[in-house]
Homo-oligomer: A and B are copies of this chain.
Amino acid sequence: MKIKLNKLLTKNKALFLAYDQGLEHGPTDFNQNNVDPNSIIEIAKKGKFNGIIFQKGLAEKYQKEIRASKVPLILKLNGNTNLSKGEPISPQICSVEEAIKLGASAVGYTIYIGSKHENEMLSEFGKIEEEAHKVGLPVIVWIYPRGKSVKSKSKKELMVRAARTGLEIGADIIKIRLSGTQKDLIWAVKSAGKTRIVIAGGTKQNEKEFL
């Protein structure tokens, strides 16, 4: 089935507003204003963002406001708090079926490659990708190398690996952290093949990043 990416792109560029850090970090990153999901929906609407990234709790409680804003909803399917100090794992807490009911235009999932629990996340993602693509729902993956095993690796190498991993496992869009030079980023984009790359923390992506 054809993956419905159109809603997430404007002239082949994408600008997403991520607002799923409240589960991982708690509200420490927020101020009196942006602690309110409504303020974020407002920003996303005014900034003509191509997507707003929410955990299922926000997607459900602010459903009416999200639909009214017409900003596509990207439902983050897994999550964890950063309180636990062991090898990182982020379990699925929302099903693809529930995401669709909540009006999602895409689903997202984080994989900590290099973690002792990498296999559990790869396996879980595999089922999500299959279910989502059956109905044409785009899948975005956050690939963050983490855990004891990756400490000795260069950030540049890890960025490029993340890009390739996303292609290999069937993501439509990969969100990576930018490291290294412009040349490194071009290599990452090339390694990702037909899978598109979004840079974490960046602003509107230029076309190169989507080649």
Residues of chain A at the chain B interface (Cβ within 8 Å): 20, 22-23, 26-28, 30, 32, 35-37, 55-58, 60-62, 79-81, 83-86, 89-95, 97-98, 113-116, 118-120, 122-123, 125-127, 129-130, 133, 145, 147-150, 153, 157, 160-161, 163-171, 187, 190-191, 193-195
A84 near B116: Cβ-Cβ < 8 Å: yes
- Specify which chain B residues have a CB less than 8 angstroms from the CB of A83 in the assembled complex: 113-114, 118, 145, 147, 149-150, 153, 161
Using known A-B contacts A27-B161, A58-B168, A167-B22, determine if residue A130 contacts B191 with beta carbons closer than 8 Å.
no
B114 near A27: Cβ-Cβ < 8 Å: no
- Specify which chain B residues have a CB less than 8 angstroms from the CB of A97 in the assembled complex: 130
Q: For residue A149, give the distance in angstroms from its CB to the closest CB of chain B.
A: 4
B161 near A86: Cβ-Cβ < 8 Å: no
Using known A-B contacts A27-B161, A148-B85, determine if residue A125 contacts B93 with beta carbons closer than 8 Å.
yes
A55 near B133: Cβ-Cβ < 8 Å: no
**Of B32, B62, B145, B171, which contacts A57 at CB under 8 A?**
B171
- Specify which chain B residues have a CB less than 8 angstroms from the CB of A149 in the assembled complex: 83-86
B114 near A56: Cβ-Cβ < 8 Å: no
**Of B22, B163, B166, which contacts A168 at CB under 8 A?**
B22
Query: 18 A-B pairs, CB-CB below 8 angstroms?
Result: A20-B168, A23-B164, A26-B157, A26-B165, A27-B163, A56-B126, A56-B169, A57-B166, A61-B194, A81-B118, A83-B113, A83-B114, A83-B153, A83-B161, A84-B147, A89-B119, A94-B126, A98-B130
A95 near B130: Cβ-Cβ < 8 Å: yes
- Specify which chain B residues have a CB less than 8 angstroms from the CB of A22 in the assembled complex: 164-165, 167-168, 191
